[in-house]
């Protein structure tokens, strides 16, 4: 096993061990044991940095089903390494933080199990080169995040938030899957690298743009872009460590990763530029605008996350225009927008992770996150105040913090795009910097709200009753590490740029030969230019808006509550549930007879309909073999038994006639030299007859039902149609020669599968997938039975104690 494969597998392996041995571990040790996993992986990934800087890519392929081009190919380059370091680095700090945040009364083994599953899924996602493997990990992140968000499942809001996030992200994932299949259809490969290598041919196909739109749909839903952002604020019902991990460094960044990874494929289309840039800018504005109206600290951070993700997304869109222009000297300047996106991606993870942990400390120590009940905490929580101040000022884009550098690069990118000499862009490009600047003003306002409403002002009586104090030292260490990085990156940005960001730029722009020509040198002071003037304007206008917020905040009342995206989502979900309930009750009426009628009618419509539509029914008796007298005797016995069952009035007679019919079928198998089928039929029929006789007195009465003549005739009509359809199939396949028979393929079973018995080989090898799924179904059914037994036992124990 190679190291890159071990990086993905290790979290899953640890999760499996925890599932088995958690009862033998003390709760206070579980988190510390789990902490060793992300720390080890982070250290291991840092050893790849020198190789990646030298232009090396690390790839390995593990064959699974080569004939279907289904292989697990790991691929580590500059882009995936950034995300791998964020997943493991921030994951280490989150697990350290959760050791002090979570109570020993919590189900800690479940929490860390879900967290490890999510970490492994994210690592598999960013290190996968195969589209189908990437999709599998993509959906696993949705499932594991659902479990994390609903960790406090006794809360209705947690369950609702988890359901909303899964509904939206999984819907986007299905659309993305269709887009992946379209890419495979036009490229003939599932490998992302091979698709990029053949992009000139692929981009001319008719399915290229539809695939582009569907892939973006998946990316936008996962990264909470407008209008799919509504799931992220509700997901804040999760424990704070989950919010700090999922919504600052991992899950929402999966959509960002997808856009960055597929920019070399789709970046040459203006549709990609407008979609990514436009949606990103709208999300940037809408998130920052709505953050100001929130009164819950976590809700403010939720909408700020939406806004910051929109900023990163818009930068990736702006940078993609360089691919549209081609690898020329004129286009190099536009690649710097993508550099700014990657830079802010890391910066956002540092200051937002610290801010989520800060809010967790306030909630943990004070017991509330409502800014209307907070205030004056600076004297009680000076270290927490320091975290909030540095984190918010970095998010607002002020020096000397890393957010200032990437925000200035963002201003540079939106100003540069106005100089682009393309008519379709130049006509409205002037609108881009205006939206960016207004969104930055609202960002500055909500940052001031977080700091001032929480730590300044008069202490509230509710807080004094709680005896506020700083949290344990271990709870302060993770956010202080993150804000330390906020400051260090500001003073040494090129340490990050040269070793982490530059190699990733070649992943987005593979047409360029060197990262040096497309990755800029970052400096804290870049002169008194337009970007700095915009920043000064943000501060001045932001302070004015903050002071006068109670006057202009009435603007939020203009938007009707019933037309918010959340309200629309709830109406759609309610309508879907009511409609499905109504439709289901139409056919799920509790009558088994109707269920059989529905099944048989569908069978008749599909099978008989296809035969009639295609003209496939051809029967030529002259080609049939002669029918022996004993064969006719058996057939007449079967007909007699089946018809007699309908008219007999005694239960014993019905059981015996059913046995006659079954044994006659077995004898027919013997005549046609199918001993294994005959033996199976004899065993089943013997057991069935014995069971009927054992349960004889429990069989239902044979009193005729009060069915109307119309009901009886309709059932008889359906029965005749089913019999006729089966007869048509049997007669048609005897001499059917429109297609080559598949039996010739299975005759070579010994060489193909190593089995001499064709029937056994078909069941055990050629139908391996079907057999595997049957085993899975039986396993799930077994789990269900086991769970019901355990629940019943627990309920009985509880009743006995009461």
225-241: pLDDT as tens digits? 999 999 999 988 889 99
User: What does the longest C-alpha to C-alpha distance in the chain come to?
Assistant: 106
Query: Which parts of 249-401 fold into alpha helices (H)?
Result: 251-266, 270-291, 297-319, 321-325, 329-366, 382-396
Rounded to the nearest angstrom, the gap between the alpha carbon of residue 451 and the centroid of all alpha carbons in its chain is 34
Phi, psi of 512 (to 5 degrees): -85, 145
Is 801 a residue whose pLDDT tops 60? Answer: no
Is 792 a residue whose pLDDT tops 80? Answer: no
In this predicted structure, what is the pLDDT of residue 368?
86
746 against 242, higher pLDDT: 242
Tens of pLDDT, residue by residue over 427-461, are 788 889 999 999 999 999 999 999 999 999 888 77
In this predicted structure, what is the pLDDT of residue 737?
64
| Domains delineated in the chain | 267-547 (no CATH), 589-739 (1.20.120), 742-802 (no CATH)
Is 370 a residue whose pLDDT tops 70? Answer: yes
Tens of pLDDT, residue by residue over 690-712, are 887 777 767 666 555 556 777 77
Contacts of 790 (CB under 8 A, 6+ apart): none
Instruction: Give the DSSP letter of residue 269.
Output: S
619 against 310, higher pLDDT: 310
- Give strand pairing partners of 370: 296
pLDDT band at 204 (very low <50, low <70, confident <90, very high): confident
Rounded-to-integer distance, Cα 189 and Cα 784, Å: 39
247 against 136, higher pLDDT: 136
Tokens standing for residue 459: 């202490």
Q: How many residues does the chain have?
A: 802
Tokens standing for residue 471: 């949290």
Give me the percent of the chain exceeding a pLDDT of 90.
45
Dihedral sign for Cα atoms in the order 737, 742, 745, 750: negative
In this predicted structure, what is the pLDDT of residue 794?
64
Question: What average pLDDT does the segment 513-537 reach?
Answer: 85
Estimate the crossing angle of helix 208-222 against helix 156-187, to 10 degrees.
160
Inter-CA distances, 257 with 139, 232, 498, 511, Å:
15, 18, 20, 19
Tens of pLDDT, residue by residue over 170-188, are 999 999 999 999 999 999 8
pLDDT band at 412 (very low <50, low <70, confident <90, very high): very high
Rounded-to-integer distance, Cα 656 and Cα 689, Å: 8
CB atoms near residue 628 (< 10 Å): 10
With beta carbons less than 8 A apart as the criterion, state whether 352 and 305 touch: yes
Q: Does the bond joining 526 to the residue before it have cis omega, within 30 degrees of 0?
A: no
Tokens standing for residue 548: 């006068």
pTM: 0.83
Ramachandran bin of 24, using left for φ above 0, alpha for ψ from -120 to 50, beta for the remaining angles: alpha
Is 738 a residue whose pLDDT tops 70? Answer: no
In this predicted structure, what is the pLDDT of residue 559?
77
Is 255 a residue whose pLDDT tops 80? Answer: yes
Is 20 a residue whose pLDDT tops 70? Answer: yes
pLDDT band at 793 (very low <50, low <70, confident <90, very high): low
Question: What average pLDDT does the segment 307-325 reach?
Answer: 93
Rounded-to-integer distance, Cα 73 and Cα 191, Å: 8
Give the mean pLDDT of the chain.
87
Question: What average pLDDT does the segment 28-52 reach?
Answer: 92
- Give strand pairing partners of 65: 70
Tens of pLDDT, residue by residue over 86-104, are 999 999 999 999 999 988 8
Tokens standing for residue 580: 């499905």
pLDDT band at 211 (very low <50, low <70, confident <90, very high): very high
In this predicted structure, what is the pLDDT of residue 739?
63
In this predicted structure, what is the pLDDT of residue 714?
81
Burial code of 318-339, b = ≥16 C-beta within 10 A, e = fewer? bbbbbbbbebeeebbbbbbbbb
Instruction: Write down the residue that tokens 């799919």 correspond to.
Output: 228
Query: 65: burial class by Cβ within 10 Å (0-12, 13-18, 19+)?
Result: exposed
Tens of pLDDT, residue by residue over 475-492, are 999 999 999 999 999 999
In this predicted structure, what is the pLDDT of residue 329?
72
Rounded-to-integer distance, Cα 688 and Cα 719, Å: 23
With beta carbons less than 8 A apart as the criterion, state whether 349 and 90 touch: yes
Tens of pLDDT, residue by residue over 270-281, are 999 999 999 999
Quick check: helix, strand or coil at residue 57? coil
In this predicted structure, what is the pLDDT of residue 706?
58
Phi, psi of 74 (to 5 degrees): -90, 140
In this predicted structure, what is the pLDDT of residue 97?
95
The span from the first CA to the last CA of the chain, in angstroms, equals 54
Is 6 a residue whose pLDDT tops 90? Answer: no
Rg (CA), the chain: 33
Phi, psi of 178 (to 5 degrees): -60, -40
Estimate the crossing angle of helix 651-671 against helix 629-647, to 10 degrees.
160
Is 755 a residue whose pLDDT tops 80? Answer: no
Question: What average pLDDT does the segment 120-136 reach?
Answer: 93
- Give strand pairing partners of 128: 74
pLDDT band at 588 (very low <50, low <70, confident <90, very high): confident
In this predicted structure, what is the pLDDT of residue 423?
66
In this predicted structure, what is the pLDDT of residue 141?
94
CB atoms near residue 441 (< 10 Å): 22
With beta carbons less than 8 A apart as the criterion, state whether 366 and 355 touch: no
């Amino acid at each position: 096993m190679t190291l890159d494969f071990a990086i993905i597998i290790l979290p899953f392996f640890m999760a499996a061990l925890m599932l088995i041995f958690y009862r033998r571990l003390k709760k206070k040790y579980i988190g510390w044991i789990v902490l060793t996993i992300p720390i080890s992986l982070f250290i291991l990934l840092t050893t790849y940095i020198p190789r990646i800087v030298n232009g090396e890519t690390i790839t390995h392929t593990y064959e699974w089903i080569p004939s279907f081009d289904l292989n697990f190919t790991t691929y580590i380059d500059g882009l995936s390494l950034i995300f791998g370091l964020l997943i493991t680095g921030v994951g280490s700090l989150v697990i350290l933080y959760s050791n002090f945040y979570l109570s020993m009364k919590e189900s800690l083994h479940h929490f860390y199990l879900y967290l490890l599953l999510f970490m492994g899924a994210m690592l598999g996602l960013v290190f996968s080169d195969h589209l189908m493997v990437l999709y599998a990990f993509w959906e696993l992140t949705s499932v594991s995040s659902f479990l994390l968000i609903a960790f406090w499942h006794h809360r209705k809001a947690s369950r609702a938030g988890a359901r909303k996030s899964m509904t939206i992200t999984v819907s986007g994932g299905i659309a993305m899957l269709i887009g992946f299949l379209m890419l495979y259809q036009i490229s003939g490969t599932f490998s992302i690298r091979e698709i990029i290598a053949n992009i000139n041919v692929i981009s001319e196909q008719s399915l290229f743009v539809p695939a582009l739109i569907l892939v973006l749909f998946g990316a936008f839903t996962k990264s909470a872009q407008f209008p799919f952002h509504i799931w992220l604020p509700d997901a804040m019902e999760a424990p704070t460590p989950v919010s700090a991990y999922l919504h600052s460094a991992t899950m929402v960044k999966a959509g960002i990763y997808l856009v960055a990874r597929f920019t070399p494929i789709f970046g040459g289309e203006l549709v990609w530029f407008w979609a990514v840039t436009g949606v990103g800018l709208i999300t940037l504005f809408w998130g920052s605008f709505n953050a100001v109206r929130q009164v819950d600290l976590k809700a403010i951070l939720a909408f700020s996350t939406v806004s910051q993700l929109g900023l990163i997304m818009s930068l990736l869109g702006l940078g993609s225009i360089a691919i549209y222009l081609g690898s020329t000297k004129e286009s190099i300047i536009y690649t710097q927008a993508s550099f700014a996106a990657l830079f802010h991606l890391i910066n956002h993870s540092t200051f937002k992770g610290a801010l989520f942990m800060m809010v967790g400390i306030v909630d943990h120590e004070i017991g509330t996150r409502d800014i209307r009940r907070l205030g004056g905490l600076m004297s009680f929580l000076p270290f927490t105040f320091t975290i909030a101040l540095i984190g918010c000022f970095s998010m607002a884009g002020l020096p000397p913090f890393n957010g200032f550098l990437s925000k200035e690069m963002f201003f540079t990118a939106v100003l540069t795009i106005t100089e682009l000499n393309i008519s379709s862009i130049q006509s409205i490009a002037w609108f881009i910097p205006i939206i960016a600047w207004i969104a930055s003003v609202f960002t500055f306002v909500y940052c001031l709200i977080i700091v001032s409403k929480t730590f300044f002002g008069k202490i509230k009586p509710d807080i004094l009753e709680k005896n506020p104090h700083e949290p344990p030292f271990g709870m302060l260490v993770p956010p202080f590490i993150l804000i330390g990085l906020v400051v260090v990156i500001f003073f040494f940005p090129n340490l990050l740029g040269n070793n982490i960001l530059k190699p990733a730029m070649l992943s987005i722009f593979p047409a360029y030969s060197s990262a040096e020509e497309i990755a800029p040198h970052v400096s804290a002071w870049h002169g008194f230019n337009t970007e700095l003037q915009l920043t000064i304007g943000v501060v001045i206008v932001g302070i004015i808006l903050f002071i006068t917020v109670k006057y202009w905040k009435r603007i939020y009342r203009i938007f009707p509550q019933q037309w918010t995206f959340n309200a629309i989502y709830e109406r759609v979900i309610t309508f879907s549930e009511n409609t499905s309930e109504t439709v289901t009750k139409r056919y799920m009426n509790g009558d088994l007879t109707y269920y059989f009628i529905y099944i048989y009618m569908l069978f008749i419509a599909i099978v008989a309909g296809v035969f009639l539509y295609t003209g496939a029914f051809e029967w030529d008796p002259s080609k049939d073999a002669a029918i022996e007298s004993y064969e006719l005797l058996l057939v007449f016995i079967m007909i007699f038994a089946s018809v007699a069952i309908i008219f007999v009035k005694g239960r014993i007679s019905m059981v015996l006639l059913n046995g006659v019919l079954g044994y006659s079928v077995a004898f027919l198998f013997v005549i046609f030299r199918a001993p294994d089928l005959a033996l199976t039929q004899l065993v089943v029929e013997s057991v069935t007859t014995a069971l009927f006789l054992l349960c004889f007195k429990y069989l239902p009465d044979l009193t005729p039902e009060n069915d109307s003549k119309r009901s009886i005739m309709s059932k008889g009509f359906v029965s005749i149609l089913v019999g006729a359809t089966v007869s048509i199939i049997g007669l048609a396949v005897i001499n059917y020669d429109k297609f080559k028979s598949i039996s010739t393929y299975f005759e070579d079973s010994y060489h193909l599968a190593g089995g001499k018995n064709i029937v056994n080989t078909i069941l055990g090898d050629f139908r391996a997938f079907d057999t595997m799924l049957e085993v899975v179904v039986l396993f799930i059914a077994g789990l269900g039975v086991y769970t019901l037994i355990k629940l019943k036992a627990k309920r009985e124990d509880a009743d006995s104690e009461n």
